[in-house]
Amino acid sequence: MVTHPDPAVLYPDVAARGSLAAALQAAAEEGGFSVVATPSSTDPLSHARAASRLPYRKALGVSAWAVERRWSIRGEEPFEDSPLVQGDTDDLAQVARAVQGWQDGAALNDIRQAAPFVRLTGRFEVPDPDPVRLTESEWQRMRTEAAERNRPAYHALIEAAYAEPALRRLYPFTSHWALRFSTTTRPSLTIIGPCLLAGDAGRAYTVSKGFMGGDLLAEAATAQEAVAAAVRHLPADPGPVTYGALPDKKRSGSAS
């Protein structure tokens, strides 16, 4: 059985304040600014949340690590519950700076400038559940991630797919490096078309009906050839991408 140090041992300063939320507020005051944070009702030393004045930002989550003294943040948008910012640091004052920017509605780049540990996922903010903009944002996230990975074949595949209008208008998602498409956004995907997989170390790209290469449709030497093969196996008219609301949200008419 794995055991972790008592949070009060790893974070005696937080324990002295009574909660992570209170410690964040104290760190902000020491820096000459203010934040408002809400402690977790079940684990106040390790978790806190900070609401934003922008309605299209969910509350920023702040969590303490269990095995070493460090904090993580995650800031999501409300329509797909996807992260816009995330990161981790051992500097609570930096976390408080990130909280301040998120709460005040600062631009994402400005939050990163104020707190350099913050990593932008590549998604941009969409003020309402516009499926076209959410699709564009997800493509931007995927391209950002692919550029940061040390997998040239995968990066080439993402860029080739994005350059193809028939695929770019579909909502992209990946699993285990396989590129797939949907006619609805998250949170409820509707899979359409084939699955594309980038080979490594000189292996071919594959286009298949099934996940991870099952029911092979084509092999290709380049990302562009793989994309062309995928387009040939798309339905003739998939229609526009729509917002993938969950059933209960569809009934209530709420997208948040």
Write the pLDDT tens digit of every residue in 217-256. 999 999 999 999 999 999 988 889 999 988 765 433 333 3
pLDDT at 175 over 90: no
pLDDT at 164 over 90: yes
**Where do we find the tokens 């948008």?**
77
Q: Is the dihedral of CA 99, 102, 104, 108 positive or negative?
A: positive
Give the residue from 241, 154, 245 showing the smallest Cα distance to 197: 154
Q: What is the mean pLDDT of the chain?
A: 93
Query: What is the CB neighbour count within 10 angstroms for residue 135?
Result: 22
Give the residue from 151, 138, 156 showing the smallest Cα distance to 225: 156
Q: What is the CA radius of gyration of the chain?
A: 21
pLDDT of residue 202: 65
pLDDT of residue 147: 96
Question: What residue type is 176 in one-letter code?
Answer: H
Query: Which contiguous run of DSSP H or E holds residue 231?
Result: helix 223-232
What predicted TM-score, i.e. pTM, was given to this entire model?
A: 0.90
Bridge partners of 197, per DSSP, are 178, 206
Residue 74 in 3-state DSSP?
Answer: strand
Residues contacting residue 225 through CB under 8 Å, at least 6 positions apart: 205
Edge-to-edge strands, sheet with 216-220:
171-175, 178-182, 191-197, 205-208, 216-220
pLDDT of residue 98: 98
Q: What is the biggest distance separating any 2 CA atoms in the chain, rounded to whole angstroms?
A: 64
Phi then psi dihedrals of residue 16, to 5 deg: -65, -30
> What CA–CA distance (Å, rounded) separates 206 from 134?
27
